[in-house]
Amino acid sequence: MFPSTQRTYETNIRLPLSFILFGVVAFVASEAILLFSGTSLVQGAFRIPAVWGAIHLAVLGWALMVAMGAMYQLVPVVFLTPIWNETLGFVQFFITTLGVLALSISFLLEMKFVFFAGLLLTLGFVLFFLQMVMTLKNQPIKNMMTLFVSTALFCLLLTVFLGMALSFHFFSGSEIADHLLMLKTHLLFGLTGWFTLLIIGFSYKMVPMFSLAHGFSMTLARYVYTIYVGGLAITFFSFLTNHSTLFTGGMGLLFLGFSLFSYHITTILRKRVKKKLDRPFLFALFAIAIALCLHAIAFLFAVVGNTASFGVMIYGYLFGWIILSIIGYLYKIVPFLWWTHRYSKKIGKENVPTLKQMINEKWIVFSFGLFLVSLIGVILALVISNLPLFYIAQSGMIAFSLLLAGTIISVLWK
């Protein structure tokens, strides 16, 4: 692992890079599959195998794989502790990749096999969970970020086990517990639990880092955590008791918690030294604004009792908040990773490119525009049930995913 004299905790670049490369390719594949599910999607039919296949490929193969790769890179930097076992990391990568591929194929071909693919995937996630827990345990000084990330990891584990149970229902034809209850909880803990708490936790480090902010207070983070996690708990109880007032309360707390987080981020940004912020980083900040709006809309929908629109909301949340944040930080992480791998030994000896030269910012801005326009197009198409618009907008998404994959992979040629 790490000799006692070594103070640097840099992860072997192949580990995060493997996750990221698989992720961008999975993204292209998932967007293509979604295109073919157009007729079902515009009719509001989300709960069909082909759509599950595409969504799980997007969520697990793209978003989650990239998140895991980023964590292998960033956890040592943010938490000042090395990855517990890199070999385990590679093993986990292979198991998870196989699991994701098996799961996606099963959704598309034979629902019963989803259960077995799910078992493999669960093993992969349990290994990841173990890796991160053992890594975070060794963190010298624990802080609010440790709390956010640990809670996020716990939510991931719950989400995965619920997913397993759901797939068991399809395999066995019998229910362990109420299917709808488990499905709603699966979505809640996966999207608002795992992904959101993870992004919030890491944002508290990424935002000061990329804006060079210092001298700000972290006190608000405690309230963000308490209120947001409280909202998660209340929402879960509303599912358990089928209580719509509790659900509204839960959505309200989540909105309040996220509003506080958004406000806290603006206070951090006010203390920044770097005046002009990088475009990719601006995307990640924009994603926070989108999430804030979505939390508000979710609360409003709950108040008026509109639960039918939650399908489209969830789609918007996944792409406009989670995936957009990931893309923003990915455009910063990949050049950094590759530069360190290719040029870090060369600096001072030859003409080495700067970080900025590793990736074309003009393409990034164009791709961001393409993503946003396509996303709005898809959401509109789903809301008004317009198939031609869906095909056009989704084609835009596919083009974006190809551009993203191309841009990320092109870094490896620099």
Task: Report the interface residues with other proteins, using CB under 8 A.
Answer: 5-10, 77-78, 80, 205, 208-210, 212-214, 273-274, 336, 339-340, 344-345, 347-348, 354-356
* Residues whose CB falls within 8 Å of the CB of residue 8, separated by 6 or more in sequence, listed in order: none
Q: Of 148 and 236, which has the nearer Cβ to other proteins? A: 148
In the complex, minimum distance from the CB of residue 379 to other proteins, in angstroms, rounded to a whole number:
35
In the complex, minimum distance from the CB of residue 145 to other proteins, in angstroms, rounded to a whole number:
10
Q: Of 169 and 279, which has the nearer Cβ to other proteins? A: 279
In the complex, minimum distance from the CB of residue 345 to other proteins, in angstroms, rounded to a whole number:
8
Classify burial at 41, counting beta carbons within 10 Å of its beta carbon; exposed 0-12, middle 13-18, buried 19 or more.
buried
- Please give the angle made by the CA atoms of 179, 185 and 190, to the nearest 5 degrees: 125
In the complex, minimum distance from the CB of residue 281 to other proteins, in angstroms, rounded to a whole number:
11
DSSP 136: H
Distance CA(319)–CA(290), nearest Å, equals: 10
Q: Of 105 and 355, which has the nearer Cβ to other proteins? A: 355
* Residues whose CB falls within 8 Å of the CB of residue 168, separated by 6 or more in sequence, listed in order: 115, 176
Q: Of 194 and 202, which has the nearer Cβ to other proteins? A: 202
In the complex, minimum distance from the CB of residue 282 to other proteins, in angstroms, rounded to a whole number:
16
Q: Of 169 and 271, which has the nearer Cβ to other proteins? A: 271
In the complex, minimum distance from the CB of residue 135 to other proteins, in angstroms, rounded to a whole number:
16
Q: Of 30 and 135, which has the nearer Cβ to other proteins? A: 135
- The per-residue b/e assignment along 395-413, b for 16 or more CB within 10 angstroms, e otherwise, is ebbbbbbbbbbebbeebee
DSSP assignment of 22-52 equals HHHHHHHHHHHHHHHTHHHHHTT---SHHHH
The residues with which 213 forms a beta bridge, in sequence order, are 272
Distance CA(295)–CA(322), nearest Å, equals: 13
